[in-house]
Amino acid sequence: MEGSLLAKIEKISGVVPAEGEVPVFNEGDTVVIATRSPIGHYRMPTYLRGKIGKIEAIMRQMAVDNEEEGYGRNAGSKGHYYRVAIPMTEIWPDYIGSANDGLRIEIFENWLEKPSDV
Amino acid sequence: MGTENLVRKLPNDIGGDEAGKIERVEHVLLPWEKRCHALADVLDFHKIINTEEKRRGVESLGAEMIGKLSYYERWIVAFANILFQKGILTPGELAVKMSEVEGRFSDVSSTHHS
Amino acid sequence: MSDHHDHDHDHDHAPITVDELPGYFDLMETAVRELLVERKLFKAEEIRRQIEVLDSRTPALGAKVVARAWTDPAFKSRLLENGRSGCEELGITFYDDTQLIVLENTGAVHNLIVCTLCSCYPRPVLGLPPDWYKLKPYRARAVHEPRAVLEEFGTFIPGDVEIRVSDSTAIIRYLVLPMRPEGTEHLNETQLADLVTRDAMIGVIQVAYKREAA
């Protein structure tokens, strides 16, 4: 919903968006969550590092990277957050439940990567 | 992993960790706890301490304090630390002020409650 | 020190009344607040006002939103499109800069909300979260064994119904729109709102309705 709207705006108007304004990922894209280990403060839980998911929605409102916000940055350096869908069986090999069960989480763009070989 | 996991995995990052039964505890906030929550909101409105800095401040209390202090005890200690770091307050000023506040109750400090 | 802050009793502690020595952390809160007010970083009045704001937010607000969505399909579609503006239509303001996604439970999907990293919660609509929502067992287990967690709350979701757990981490908060129970066609919006509990809007239980014996 949110993502397709953004895509539409871009196509119809043809205006030049500011740097970073156009989301890097689109709805339905497969993404890999990065495996890095920041220290001090992070908002990407360790249980999801390296897992593969799909972009379910793009959060229209851009926002500051919350890892930077944690050290007092209140403005600038904005980017997109994405709502990402990840199957429970992808996260937990021993998952007890239905293969359809899933997790949804909002992830800042700099934690998401395109799969290297698809 | 040895000690490095103390650094790489923050104490509040507990999704998927082993944990026991969910005890359905709840309590009505004490007046100071509610004031502390309101203080957090006002600090965030003014971006004196934003919500994310508060979270970081709580994480940096370390596992022992996170485990033993109550929710709002963690918040107020984190606020104090962040205000010191930002140069807004000094540890000495806070200590003096706490003594002054405590002094307002000096006539009851000997009678006391459990 | 520990005996000072361990106030498990439930009588009122009026801040000005001098009948009891405040605990260590209570003193610290007062000291921090007063120092910041003295430095003119904010006014004492702002804290009093925010306490009123907090007191005005209870699960009854969320229940109104749910009941309206159950009875007004156009409202429901606006609410699902944008949770925050849907709530704002009913006068529920968002004082904390968060956005809201409303997650609809259906016969095919059951939603559950959690915050594994801290205690993110749709406070403008539900008020403050219960303690168990903020404690380790719920936060650790909801993302790993949601069906076992639901069963501890007495909620049994059939295997062919998808469980969707939303882990809040940033600026988005979630509110579960529970399924309207069967047999409630004759109830009005107010009566429906009375059925909706906080835990149903977290997603740990479903909304129940038992027709009262006439």
Residue C194's φ and ψ, nearest 5 degrees, are: -65, -20
Is residue B8 in some structural domain? Answer: no
Predicted confidence band of residue A19 (pLDDT cuts 50, 70, 90): confident
As a whole number of angstroms, the distance between CA A57 and CA A51 comes to 18
Nearest 5°: the CA angle C205, C211, C212 is 115
- How confident is the model over C64-113, as pLDDT tens digits? 999 999 999 999 999 999 999 999 999 999 998 899 999 999 999 999 99
Domain with B82 in it? 27-104
| Residues 1-20, chain B, touching C (beta carbon < 8 A) | 12-20
Is residue A22 in some structural domain? Answer: yes
As a whole number of angstroms, the distance between CA A73 and CA A79 comes to 14
Question: Which domains occur in chain C, in start order?
Answer: 7-55 (no CATH), 59-202 (3.90.330.10)
Report how many domains make up chain A: 1
User: What CATH number is associated with residue B92?
Assistant: 1.10.472.20
Domain with A58 in it? 2-113
Q: How many CB pairs under 8 A join B and C?
A: 176
Q: Which residues of A touch B13 (CB under 8 A)?
A: 42, 45-46
Q: Note the pLDDT of residue A32.
A: 98
Interface probe, candidates C26, C133, C173, chain B, greatest B C-beta count within 10 A: C26
Cβ–Cβ of C47/B89 closer than 8 Å?
no
Q: Which residues of A touch C145 (CB under 8 A)?
A: 96-97
Predicted confidence band of residue A20 (pLDDT cuts 50, 70, 90): confident
Is C119 known to be catalytic?
A: yes
Cβ–Cβ of C167/A88 closer than 8 Å?
no
Q: Cβ contacts of residue B2 below 8 Å, gap of 6+?
A: none
ipTM, 2 dp: 0.93
Q: Count CA within 13 A, CB hemisphere, residue C105.
A: 26
Is residue A107 in some structural domain? Answer: yes
Q: Which two tokens stand for residue C84?
A: 């925050």
Cβ–Cβ of C159/A63 closer than 8 Å?
no
Is residue B114 in some structural domain? Answer: no
As a whole number of angstroms, the distance between CA A109 and CA A104 comes to 15
Within 10 angstroms of residue C200's Cβ, the number of other Cβ atoms is 23
- How confident is the model over C4-53, as pLDDT tens digits? 444 444 444 445 555 679 999 999 999 999 999 999 999 999 999 999 99
Per-chain mean pLDDT for chain B: 93
Is residue A118 in some structural domain? Answer: no
- How confident is the model over A31-64, as pLDDT tens digits? 999 999 999 999 999 999 999 999 999 998 899 9
- B10, B53, B60: residue with CB nearest A42: B10
Q: Which residues of C touch A45 (CB under 8 A)?
A: 116-117, 167, 169
| Residues 163-202, chain C, touching A (beta carbon < 8 A) | 163-172
Report how many domains make up chain B: 1
- How confident is the model over B47-62, as pLDDT tens digits? 999 999 999 999 999 9
**Can you say how many angstroms the Cα of residue A42 is from the centroid of all Cα atoms in its chain?**
14
Is residue A9 in some structural domain? Answer: yes
Is residue B35 in some structural domain? Answer: yes
- How confident is the model over C139-164, as pLDDT tens digits? 999 999 999 999 999 999 999 999 99
Q: Which two tokens stand for residue A43?
A: 């908002």
Cβ–Cβ of C172/A83 closer than 8 Å?
yes
